[in-house]
Amino acid sequence: MKVTDLDETLAAPARLAIVATLARGHRLTFTVLREETGLADGNLHVQTRKLIEVGYLARERVQQGGRPVTRFELTERGRLGFLEYVRRLREAAEGPFAAARAAGESEGRRSADPSRVW
């Protein structure tokens, strides 16, 4: 896997946590998103702004109980970007194990050799 194979936007743990949290399909307020991700206000503000700039998040500001509330939701582009990121990580992680698993299945049993990792 090359560095260019992964979405640079989602490579930052804070942005990945935001997108993964919103990938559940809910529109969340800033406060709830902060609680769910464990990010500080300033960091959450900066990272959501970056995700909005690349089109991964939509922001909505509404009045709720006479107070302004900011809500975020994942856009279609963000959802697809997240799914692709996860797919590529799975592909990279499963690559070496898939070959070993296939070899083990073709033998019909696991090797008794303790030095063999998989």
Split the chain (118 residues) into runs of 10 and give each run's mean pLDDT: 71 95 94 96 97 97 91 96 91 72 58 53
Which domains does the chain show, CATH number per domain?
Answer: 3-106 (1.10.10.10)
Predicted local distance difference test score (pLDDT) of residue 79? 96
Predicted local distance difference test score (pLDDT) of residue 6? 75
Predicted local distance difference test score (pLDDT) of residue 91? 85
Predicted local distance difference test score (pLDDT) of residue 31? 95
List, as own/partner pairs, every contact residues 12-19 make where C-beta atoms lie below 8 angstroms and the sequence separation is at least 24, other chains included.
Answer: 12/47, 14/39, 14/43, 14/44, 14/47, 15/47, 15/50, 15/51, 16/85, 18/44, 18/47, 18/48, 18/51, 18/57, 18/72, 19/51, 19/56, 19/57, 19/74, 19/78, 19/81, 19/82
